């Protein structure tokens, strides 16, 4: 048996919707993006949602929202996260202050001394999730390995009307109004989502309750059989000694595992200026491995992974 780390949950519905949009002949940001924004806001429980071409660019706009300046300011983030978060902080002129905390697979705040909260929520999408973080600018990723897959893309969920208006202009060259008689209110960016991406994400959103239910069943099964306590529906992580040997062991049995993240950002060459000792992060980074987790995973596949992990533990304790 071969068990991939991840498998896309796509079927003819997504394909049919992409074909429909292509036949319609309007492929960039349009009606389909607006429909996705409305439905996504309803789903997570936010007042507004602004679609963007990636979670990375969503974080960029969220930090710059309403013209805030960041030169020399400190923004605190975990080191065990994807490089896009740290890159965005440096691109706005701010400085990184690493937190020795672990948030892999969970939403977390980009901490700073500003009157609003920005969140990297790329790893979790659940119904009414925003209710627990009211007032935040929550950034979600629609990268193919995430719970909603739309050939890239992202979404900002928020409750502030003025921030929503600013974000909508900023993502599309600072433009206000449609047709040829538009106004450029501010120097903006090209961060808008396309209708092609939107219809894929819209179908995925309609399926999300069922996909999350299946993921929760898998996570609960893993937790019960492996004696872990993981809550994330995006990544199932566990700590093992001799991790590289464990990954080879699993690969020999046809099971593809992954690592999130192999080298913490504070030890990466690009961020050497901000390097410091982070004991918890460094220990976690050397031991954590991610097991296969996707909505279409069968019980036979899950059980096969569990048996392999148990075999490893029995022979390596």
In the structure, what pLDDT confidence band is assigned to residue 178 with cuts at 50, 70 and 90? low
pLDDT tens digits, residue range 246-272? 999 999 999 999 999 899 999 999 999
Residues 246 and 227 in one domain: yes
Residues 307 and 169 in one domain: no
Say how far apart CA 291 and CA 306 lie, in whole Å: 10
Q: What is the mean pLDDT of the chain?
A: 92
Per-residue model confidence (pLDDT) at position 177: 65
Domain that holds residue 245: 208-315
Say how far apart CA 216 and CA 219 lie, in whole Å: 5
| 5 occurs within a structural domain | no
pTM of the model: 0.94
The total number of structural domains that make up the chain: 2
Q: What is the CATH number of the domain that holds 269?
A: 3.90.1150.10
Residues 188 and 252 in one domain: no
| 2 occurs within a structural domain | no
């Amino acid at each position: 048996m071969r068990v991939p780390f991840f498998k896309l949950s796509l079927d003819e519905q997504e394909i049919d919707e992409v074909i429909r949009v292509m036949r319609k002949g309007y492929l960039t940001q349009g009606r389909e993006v607006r429909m996705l924004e409305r439905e996504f806001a309803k789903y997570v429980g936010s007042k507004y949602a602004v679609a963007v071409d990636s979670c990375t660019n969503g974080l960029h706009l969220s930090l710059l929202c309403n013209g805030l300046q960041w030169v020399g300011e400190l923004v605190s983030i975990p080191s065990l996260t994807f490089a896009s978060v740290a890159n965005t902080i440096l691109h706005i002129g701010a400085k990184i202050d690493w937190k020795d905390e672990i948030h892999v697979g969970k939403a977390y705040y980009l901490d700073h001394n500003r009157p609003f909260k920005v969140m990297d929520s790329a790893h979790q999408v659940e119904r009414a999730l925003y209710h627990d973080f009211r007032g935040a600018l929550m950034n979600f990723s629609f990268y193919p390995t995430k719970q909603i897959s739309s050939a890239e893309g992202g979404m900002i969920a928020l409750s502030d009307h003025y921030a929503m208006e600013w974000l909508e202009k900023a993502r599309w060259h600072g433009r206000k109004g449609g047709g040829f008689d538009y106004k450029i209110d501010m120097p903006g960016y090209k961060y808008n989502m396309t209708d092609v991406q939107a219809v894929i994400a819209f179908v995925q959103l309609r399926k999300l309750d069922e996909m999350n239910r299946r993921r929760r069943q898998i996570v609960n099964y893993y937790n019960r059989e492996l004696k872990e306590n993981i809550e994330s529906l995006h990544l199932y992580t566990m700590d093992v000694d001799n991790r590289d040997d464990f990954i080879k062991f699993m690969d020999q049995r046809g099971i593809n595992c992954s690592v999130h993240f192999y080298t913490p950002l504070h030890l990466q060459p690009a961020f050497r200026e901000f390097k410091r000792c982070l004991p918890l992060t460094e220990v976690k980074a050397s031991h954590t491995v991610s097991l296969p987790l996707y909505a279409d995973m069968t019980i036979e596949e899950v059980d096969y992974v569990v048996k392999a992990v148990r075999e490893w533990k029995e022979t390596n304790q």
